[in-house]
Amino acid sequence: MNLQGKTVVVTGASSGLGEAAVRRLHAAGAQVIPVGRSAEKTAAVAAELGAEPLTADFSELTEVRRLAKVLLDRCPRIDVLVSNAGCIMAKHTVTKDGFEETFQVNALAPYLLMNLLTERLRDSGGRVVVTSSQTIEGRRQLDPENINGKAKYEPYEAYADSKLALALLTREYARRHPEIQVADFHPGVFVGGLARGLWRERLLTNSPLRGTVERFVGTPDKGVDTLLHLAGTDTPLHGEYYKDGRRTDPGATAEDAVVAGRLWDICAHGTGLPL
């Protein structure tokens, strides 16, 4: 698919991978709609492109619903939804919706947005590209009944569990909506602004050694290549997982249809969507 003139919505667009992606998508001729949590940062990114920014905090499901309504009101078509918003929380935090925040931001909110935009995506012949993580590969089984986290909270465990949940929901979405192209991908490892309050992330992000570190672990720009490929490829996408630009086996856990179906039902109940 030629991206020239295509409407592409990118969540998590105010920093890191999302910020790099909107620039590359704009350069490819797409009409990019950047969505971010920070109004100031998202506006700065949008100003470079001459685009109109949208803000939404995925830790509040009412904001996700508001975002979907704005997009449906403004966009007669949505060719690509890049679901990229994510976070790591330093401490166990419960949102006003009653969910552990890492799970809500990384899995539940993207699930809700995809579903609210499904009809527009289908009518546009559109696709969904989801930022995943290599942490899903070979990941132990996820317990859908314990999506709000374990008794002892560990930030990176919660992040990995949330990304596995997102992977399962992405595959279930692809199964339920074969008319919509769907894929997820590992963007690579880089220093970014993902974490909220984690000292290791903040230390690297603001360190004068950042450039040295990036030579070893990569930059967001390098991770955008796979995203651009999936946004524009003519190869049919039916829930496959990509890494380093190639289709990759995510492991049996991330493709467990029974767990995915149960998780889908729990998320539908939690967001008020039909099963």
Q: Mind telling me the catalytic residues?
A: 159
Q: Is 146 exposed, middle or buried (0-12, 13-18, 19+ CB in 10 A)?
A: exposed
Q: How many residues does the chain have?
A: 275
Q: How far is C-alpha 71 from the geometric centre of its chain's CA atoms?
A: 17
Give the number of other Cβ atoms within 10 Å of residue 176's Cβ.
13
Q: How far is C-alpha 46 from the geometric centre of its chain's CA atoms?
A: 19
Cβ(129)–Cβ(82) below 8 Å: yes
* Token pair listed for 183: 């894929």
CA–CA gap between residue 61 and residue 65 (Å, rounded): 6
**Residue 39: φ, ψ to 5°:** -60, -40
CA–CA gap between residue 73 and residue 189 (Å, rounded): 36
